[in-house]
């Protein structure tokens, strides 16, 4: 298999040497028959009970695999090692007495690399016991040399580990699938009970689809999704979340959700108590969940200038502050007097403009904070003037920006230039990967034209970045946030 080679790059939605070898074999089978595109394998969703991920919850990941031969087990364990260096707990159920007798030593050799090993009795698969040996033969070879236990299916028990990166691997071709799925389900139930403590009427769900909550309409589910009913419930959620990753979601307008979703708690800021605006002592006080369009409308109605550029930006105040959103030569950071925010330890901070360090499309100070509300400057102008500005800006957007599902500008503008101009100059308008397409109207927009996946978008971002480096010697930096990932690692 190692002699197989390809003459082009392919984007693969999986890792692991065994998967790569299978891909090379598939390419070889159709060589000379069809011309495979670089994204030919992106839609491959995998096979049930083969490297199947049952749960991602923070640092805990649960897999199951049908492997029941030593070489298959080795391939699966190599795949798991390639994915992460987390602690490995293996639960193994041998398949057939005769196979266990034939490969006792080989099973012991391949399993001894586990940090913890739990052995279950052989799954007979219609064989009688006198045709071979049971799992105790494997156990006898390993006891004393590693953390290994031998238990029954009915007595199986394993505590959940959320404090240390841990992969729990259920391996075998028998009814081990039952306890694997129960283990994953019970872990979710345990976490939900923990999250639900003292959160009042907060709506808390499991496996909530995130794609429909974003402007790009792409992505998988949140493990947990909450709509807090008050500030105290929000603080309690942060306390209850413990080791789970937490993400606060506004309008989802500058966000790419991965196909596998988010293995933690997503907290919605689109709740009534955060969608407020008022003028107090000649200062606008605005909640983090208020849409920018509504803030613009509020300011215009009250004769307050400097906010008309926000009309048409499909985001909310909290997200806009974190990325210093802007348009028409202006940015939200220019209007901020102070911001009230929480950290993950539920400490409240009031940060004035000097402490916030706004920069182009970023506010690093707020990267690890949850914005609650902001105090913003008031500059009086006539309502008629402001209405005219809004109409002018909206018409400009209409003329220059595409209609459709997108996350807005894909890349930040490099110093002294425009990302859209560079992408258009490189001839990339209309370029597609799967269902993702570079807009024909504005080259810095990627559109979800045909049920695109996040893999499609990531592949297109990579292609654009690589092309612009080649044509202009400029490394474009993505502006959109890739939930749970760092673009530096992806690109």
Q: Name the token pair of 124.
A: 């007979």
* Residue 157 annotated to the active site: no
Among 464, 460, 486, 490, CA closest to 475? 464
What is the spatial distance between Cα 456 and Cα 452, in angstroms, rounded to a whole number? 6
The dihedral through the CA atoms of 318, 322, 323, 326 has a sign that is positive
3-state helix, strand, coil in the chain (%, to 5): 35, 25, 40
Q: Name the token pair of 78.
A: 């190599």
Q: What is the DSSP letter of 414?
A: P
Q: Name the token pair of 144.
A: 């004393």
What is the spatial distance between Cα 119 and Cα 143, in angstroms, rounded to a whole number? 11
* Residue 83 annotated to the active site: no
**Element (DSSP H or E) covering residue 488:** helix 487-490
What is the spatial distance between Cα 29 and Cα 328, in angstroms, rounded to a whole number? 53
Under DSSP, is residue 330 helix (H, G, I), strand (E, B) or coil?
Answer: strand
**E strands along 179-335, which residues?**
203-209, 221-227, 246-249, 255-256, 262-268, 277-280, 283-287, 326-327, 330-331
56, 99, 361, 390: which is the annotated catalytic residue?
Answer: 361
Length of the chain, please?
Answer: 491
* Residue 21 annotated to the active site: no
215, 406, 409, 439: which is the annotated catalytic residue?
Answer: 409
Annotated catalytic sites, by residue?
361, 409, 479
């Amino acid at each position: 298999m190692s002699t197989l080679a390809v003459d082009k790059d392919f984007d693969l939605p999986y890792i692991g040497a065994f998967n790569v070898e299978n891909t090379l074999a598939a390419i070889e089978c159709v060589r000379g028959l069809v011309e495979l595109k670089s994204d030919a394998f992106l839609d491959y969703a995998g096979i049930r009970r083969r490297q199947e991920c049952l749960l991602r919850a923070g640092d805990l990941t649960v897999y199951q695999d049908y492997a029941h031969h030593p070489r298959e087990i080795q391939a699966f364990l190599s795949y798991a090692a390639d994915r992460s260096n987390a602690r490995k707990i293996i639960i193994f159920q041998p398949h057939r007495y005769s196979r266990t007798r034939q490969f006792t030593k080989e099973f012991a050799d391949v399993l001894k690399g586990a940090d913890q090993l739990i052995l279950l009795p052989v799954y007979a698969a219609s064989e009688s016991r006198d045709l071979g040996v049971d799992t105790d033969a494997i156990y006898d070879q390993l006891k004393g040399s590693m953390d290994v236990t031998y238990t029954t299916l009915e007595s199986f028990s394993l505590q959940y580990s959320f404090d240390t990166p841990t992969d729990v691997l259920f391996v075998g071709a028998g009814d081990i699938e039952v306890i694997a799925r129960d283990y994953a389900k019970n872990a979710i139930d345990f976490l939900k009970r923990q999250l639900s403590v003292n959160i009042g009427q907060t709506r808390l769900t499991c496996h909530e689809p995130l794609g429909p909550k974003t402007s790009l309409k792409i992505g998988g589910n949140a493990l947990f999704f909450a709509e807090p009913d008050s500030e105290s419930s929000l603080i309690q959620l942060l306390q209850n979340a413990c080791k789970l990753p937490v993400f606060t979601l506004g309008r989802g307008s500058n966000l790419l959700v991965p196909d596998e979703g988010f293995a933690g708690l997503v907290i919605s800021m689109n709740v009534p108590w955060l969608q407020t605006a008022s003028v107090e002592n000649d200062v606008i006080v605005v909640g983090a969940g208020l849409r920018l369009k509504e803030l613009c409308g509020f300011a215009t109605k009250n004769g307050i200038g400097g906010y008309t550029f926000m009309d048409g930006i499909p985001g909310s105040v909290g997200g806009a502050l974190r990325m210093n959103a802007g348009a028409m030569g202006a940015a939200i950071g220019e209007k901020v007097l102070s911001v009230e925010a929480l950290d993950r330890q539920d400490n409240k901070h009031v940060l004035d403009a000097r402490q916030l360090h706004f920069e182009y499309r970023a506010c690093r100070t707020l990267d690890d904070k949850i914005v609650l509300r902001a105090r913003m400057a008031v500059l009086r102008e006539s309502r008629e003037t402001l209405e005219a500005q809004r109409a002018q800006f909206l018409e400009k957007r209409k003329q220059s920006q595409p209609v459709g599902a997108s996350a807005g500008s894909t890349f930040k503008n490099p110093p002294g230039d425009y990302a859209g101009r560079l992408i258009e100059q490189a001839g990339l308008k209309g370029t597609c990967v799967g269902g993702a397409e570079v807009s024909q109207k504005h080259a810095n927009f990627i559109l979800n034209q045909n049920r695109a996946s996040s893999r499609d978008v990531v592949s297109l971002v990579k292609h654009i970045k690589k092309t612009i480096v080649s044509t202009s010697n400029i490394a474009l930096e993505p502006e959109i946030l890739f939930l749970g990932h760092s673009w530096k690692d992806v690109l």
